[in-house]
Chain A
Amino acid sequence: MVTTFNKEAGDTVQVTVPVNPPIINISNLNVFSKKEHILKNINIGIPKNKITVLLGPSGCGKTTLLKCLNRLTDLHSDLRLEGSIEIDGDDILHTKKDITQIRQKMGLLLQRPYPLPMSIYDNIAYGLKIKGITNKKIVGEKVEKHLKEVALWDEVKDRLKSSAQSLSIGQQQRLCLARGLAVEPEIILADEPTSALDPISSRVIEEEFLQLKDHYTLILVTHILRQAKRIADYVIFMYYGEIVEHGNAAEIFDNPQTTILKEYLRLGH
């Protein structure tokens, strides 16, 4: 396995300070599986209320990094984490706080939508109910608000009681976004959220992301370079488990420093 990348003589890896103060601070994060060193010494701050895009070739550890942020890595006993991830000043890898509360700070969108096995309405009400919000009126209002937020309300308002699986994949993905927003997170994690969608549904999700960044911090993994260019404020480029370059979108796309990123951007066209 190659673990080094070639730097051209005189290359300096960028250390641009993000405009907004970081909401997430990752320091010295290392992730090991039984056989591999998956993430290597990750040090990065994620700017608040911006769209941060994670780029990098397949298998470089983007999904793993995302899952570290809400500790979904707990589901795998073969992963070992070292270092710290501070969110709102809490080191979530070592905190004594309830993990379910920490996870509610983050909404998650996966490659494919996974609607809960219940009605459209209940998919959104579920997160509220487990938070202890049971007042029917309040729940009903929130369901409407968040379905409108993802531009799904008009399409489903007449069939809120039917199963979420009856929706199209694109609608399901927006439902999953709404469901995540209903628990009032600060951060939205999205792992290639448009990879299963047609171009139009993809654009709808992108538009929603652009609107959401006024109130939320978004972290997006994508393989679609054009998509990254359209919506990224901040870009992190990874290669074999390491962060090779990071910086404001304009700098990264217009003025890449390392050979490997130049190559990646060239091939991505």
Chain B
Amino acid sequence: MTLRRKLEEKFFHALSALFALFIVFVLVHIIWSIFQKGISALSWQMVSQEPKGGFYLGKEGGILNAIAGSFYLAIASTILAFIISLPVALFMNIYLIKYKRTLTGIRFFLDVLWGVPSIVYGAFGFVILIYLGMKTSLGAGIITVAVMIAPIMIRAMDEVLKTIPIGLQEAAYALGSTKTETAYKIFFRQALPGFATAVLLAFGRGIGDAASVLFTTGFTDYVPQKLSDPAATLPLSIFFQLGSPYDEVQSRAYASAIILIFIVLVISISARLLSGAGKSRK
């Protein structure tokens, strides 16, 4: 009996270790091949210049347009989504806490929205654009991406708020707090370290998504100056460069991918550090 349990334990331990290794291997392999193909094209010029005349034929220039566009787009849409998501997540966990069924329904609905392919958001944004008679622009992209990542952010915040013990809520009310005070002075603070993860998750999806911005932001070789300008994004820039028959341009596509991965990595790690610092301050 004990031998069987020991073997069982060993077997499942080995199995999970194996799968974990496999995942790490795949990840390392992807990053490795991107590096191999792109590192030679990576240069200061790549990140500091807009594309020049013959850039897509392998001549002078860089992808500053896409780096700047992606940053503007991802940061602005993350902020916008945060402004929408915070009250919704707090509302769910303070006002709707009594109505378990309604809550379950809302959570299901948000999970469905989370799973909707981004091209659908893109198409939806496009239809609205046409209806309003607007052109593809940074502003339109920001709104589309914000709508796309808001359900992710709401659900991620919701999961953090759900872990707040009922005792803390009771303590807050017992002191005479209103619901609004409980939400913004107590729940918000309690959940703040966890919110960093929610924001990061949404930001990651926002900066890496190509389909939602395809019809809404357009593409341009210039760094956008105002919200009504069209804007380039890194995923689309990678897509266009990969489609080129020139080898130089293809390696630049991989170099662009390295830049995108680097940005996501830096943001992830700094958010981790920030929320870690928040936790240890407790």
Chain A interface residues toward B at CB < 8 A: 67, 70, 72, 75-77, 100-101, 103-104, 106-108, 110-112, 114, 116-118, 126-127, 130-131, 163, 165-166, 176, 179-180, 183, 189
Q: How far is the CA of A148 from the CA of B155 in the complex (A)?
A: 43
A75 to chain B, nearest CB (A): 7
Complex Cα distance A101/B165, Å? 24
Q: Verify A100–B177 contact, CB threshold 8 A.
A: yes
Inter-chain CA distance A178–B181, complex, in Å, is: 20
Chain A residue nearest to B166 in the complex (CB): A75
Taking CB atoms, residues of chain A closer than 8 Å to B181 are 130
A-chain residues with CB within 8 Å of residue B173 when the two chains form the complex:
70, 72, 75, 100, 103
Q: Tell me which residues across on chain A come within 8 A of B192, comparing CB atoms.
A: 117
The reply to whether A75 and B169 form a contact with Cβ atoms under 8 Å apart is yes
Q: A180 CA to B177 CA in the complex, in Å? A: 12
On chain B, the residues within 8 Å of A75 by CB distance are 97-98, 166, 169-170, 173
12 new A-B pairs (CB below 8 Å) besides A130-B177, A131-B176, A183-B176? A67-B170, A72-B174, A77-B100, A104-B176, A114-B171, A116-B168, A116-B189, A118-B189, A126-B185, A130-B176, A130-B181, A166-B282
Please tell me if the beta carbons of A180 and B176 are within 8 angstroms of each other in the complex: no
For residue B98, which residues in chain A have a CB less than 8 angstroms away from its CB?
Answer: 75-77
Residues of B near A116 (CB, < 8 A) are 168, 171-172, 186, 189
Q: Are A101 and B176 in contact (CB under 8 A)?
A: yes
Q: Contact: A114 with B97, CB < 8 Å?
A: no
The proximity string for B residues 169-201 relative to A, scoring 1 for CB distances below 8 Å and 0 otherwise, is 111111111100100011001101000000000
How far is the CB of B185 from the nearest CB of chain A, in Å? 7
Question: Do the beta carbons of A114 and B176 come within 8 Å of each other?
Answer: no
Contact check, B171 vs A103: say whether CB atoms are below 8 A apart. Answer: no
Question: Does residue B115 face the partner (Cβ distance < 8 Å to A)?
Answer: no
Specify the chain A residue showing the minimal Cβ separation from B102: A77
Q: Is the CB of A117 within 8 A of B186?
A: yes
Docked-complex contact B190 and A179, CB < 8 angstroms? no
- Do B174 and A163 touch (CB < 8 A)? no
Please give the number of chain B residues whose Cβ is less than 8 angstroms from any Cβ of chain A in the complex. 26
In the complex the two chains form, what is the Cα distance from A67 to B171 in whole Å? 11
Given contact pairs A116-B186, A117-B186, A117-B189, A107 touches B174 in the complex (Cβ within 8 A): yes
CA A100 – CA B185 in complex, angstroms?
16
Interface of B is mostly: helix
Cα-based distance from A101 to B186 in the complex (angstroms):
19
* B10 is an interface residue with CB less than 8 A from chain A: no
Verify A114–B175 contact, CB threshold 8 A.
no
Q: Which residues of B lie under 8 Å from residue A189 when comparing CB positions? A: 174
Chain B residues with CB under 8 A of A118: 189
Does B12 sit within 8 A of A, measured CB to CB?
no
Residue pair A110, B171 in contact (C-beta under 8 Å): yes
In the complex the two chains form, is B175's CB within 8 Å of A180's CB?
A: yes
Task: Tell me the smallest distance from the CB of A144 to a CB of chain B, in Å.
Answer: 19
Task: Check B167 for interface membership: any CB of A closer than 8 A.
Answer: yes
Query: How long is the Cα–Cα vector from A163 to B168 in the complex, in angstroms?
Result: 16
Chain A CB within 8 A of B19 CB: no
Asked whether B189 lies within 8 Å of A110 as measured between CB atoms, the reply is: no
**CA of A70 to CA of B168, assembled, Å:** 15
Residue pair B170, A103 in contact (C-beta under 8 Å): no
For residue B118, give the distance in angstroms from its CB to the closest CB of chain A.
35
CB neighbours (8 Å) of B171 from chain A are 108, 110, 114, 116, 176
Q: Which of B97, B175, B186, B282 contacts A104 (CB 8 A)?
A: B175
- Does B281 make an interface contact (CB < 8 A)? yes
Q: Which of A100, A110, A112, A126 contacts B178 (CB 8 A)?
A: A100
Tell me the complex Cα distance, A176–B176, Å: 14
A110, B170: Cα distance in complex, Å = 9
Smallest CB-CB separation from A126: which chain B residue? B175
Q: Considering only CB atoms, which chain A residue lies closest to B176 in the complex?
A: A104
Chain A residues with CB under 8 Å of B175's CB are: 103-104, 126-127, 130, 179-180, 183
